[in-house]
Amino acid sequence: MVMVKSTNQVSTVRPRGGYVAMTAVLAMFTTWVSSANADEAATTGSAAESVPGWTVLPLGRIAIGAAVPLTGSSTLSAAADVTVGMRVLAPMRLPRVGLVGEAGYSYAGELAQPTHLFSAGVGPGVTTGFVGVSWMPRFLVGTSLGEDAIGVRNGWVVDWVGLATAEIAHEYVRTETQRRHDLRVTFSFDLGLAIFAFGKSQPPRPR
């Protein structure tokens, strides 16, 4: 009788550091999404009914940045905005789409040659709960270099949990004697949403 003995070898492969980090980030995100869904399910009493309804969030932004003239002088000038409005999210699971509307005061230029404008607009947006992107077209009216002015601004806005935002926009302003194109880059903090969230037991993050 012949006995045959087999040996099974087990090899261990250690994951690389990048893979471990990616897995950890994915796990954190999955945990957050699961927690959000669980909270919604507990509120409605059923996972099948966990789709959130219409959500309205306030906006109260203070933005600072710079404006770069694309025509005429290339001198960099200060830019600032103070706006109020709201974000309306459609009843659906993440990612959620909706509309962003805001109106307020806009400043650009130097103290000796300022531009004071009223801005108002509504645009579509989408959010994952952590990061949101929206397109904001705005109508502008006011004064520029001492003359009555009218114009438009088209901007792309990126926000982090709805609180911190960055915007890059093209602005066209027309007066009786001038036609001006500017590139505006601003960064803002949403005080309206921060105050609203502070008054709640949980932040009103989109779910």
Phi, psi of 24 (to 5 degrees): -65, -45
Nearest residue to 81 (alpha-carbon basis) of 162, 21, 136: 136
66 phi/psi in degrees, rounded to 5: -140, 155
Residue 74's pLDDT is 72
pLDDT at position 164: 95
pTM over 0.85: no
Distance CA(96)–CA(124), nearest Å, equals 11
Predicted confidence at residue 202, as pLDDT, reads 53
**74-124 per-position pLDDT tens digit:** 788 999 999 999 999 999 999 999 999 999 999 998 777 899 999 999 999
pLDDT beneath 50, residues of the chain: 1-15, 17-34, 36-38, 40-48, 203
Rounded (10°) CA dihedral 104, 86, 161, 67:
-20
Question: In this structure, how many other beta carbons lie within 10 angstroms of the beta carbon of residue 28?
Answer: 10
